[in-house]
Amino acid sequence: MKAQRFENVDSLVNRTVEEVKRILSEKPDAVFCFACGETPRPVMGKLIKMNREGEIDFSRARFVGLDEWVGVGRQTIGSCKQMLYDDFFTPLDLREDQITLFNGLSNDLQTEIRKINSLISDLGIDFVLLGVGMNGHIGLNEPGCDTDLEAHIVDLSEMTIKVMTKYFSKEMSLTKGISLGFAQLLKAKNIYLIATGKRKAIIVEKIINSCPTNLLPATLLKDSLYESNFYVDSEAGFFI
């Protein structure tokens, strides 16, 4: 894993979007996987601006979901699907055939898993943008996760359940999620893990200074098939 500390969020964002631009220029039909939430949002905003100004073109790209809370859908404020559509897909004017996400409301989650696994098996992942949880989780792969799994259903940790409340406008009783597994993530051709803000400083230090272990899932990216990148701003990288 190659770690790089940036002076501010803008510098981190600018470097990240240049990597997206490079990948699209090399492979216009690349497959992307973006985490949702606060940390990736500035990257998405910059990419939307570049797309509108004609600097990049996502018209042939594909997008695959990273994770979702079980029991919510696009109409639920705070669902991964809602955030990805509102923050990224809709402003990019993507077609539905470009997007393959988990349906957290499905009565047959195994079909959802097979759908995602099949797409990734056929096309792979060219670029994945990840955030890191306060306990080091990646997607919804919690500490102690099975590193050999592809997409799978997970039991949410107490910390993740506590943190996730910030995304929802009302109280939610969610205990499970569905997520890509490390068997897929570690094979992505371009992996970018980003962390910003002082609240991430301690977990960033732990990730940098720890050997790969499923007890701190983010460290597993050090064993990726291709080189992984860890971008942090000055606040998140305060201790490194």
Residues acting as catalytic residues: 67, 135, 137, 142
User: Residue 79 in contact with residue 69, Cβ under 8 Å?
Assistant: yes
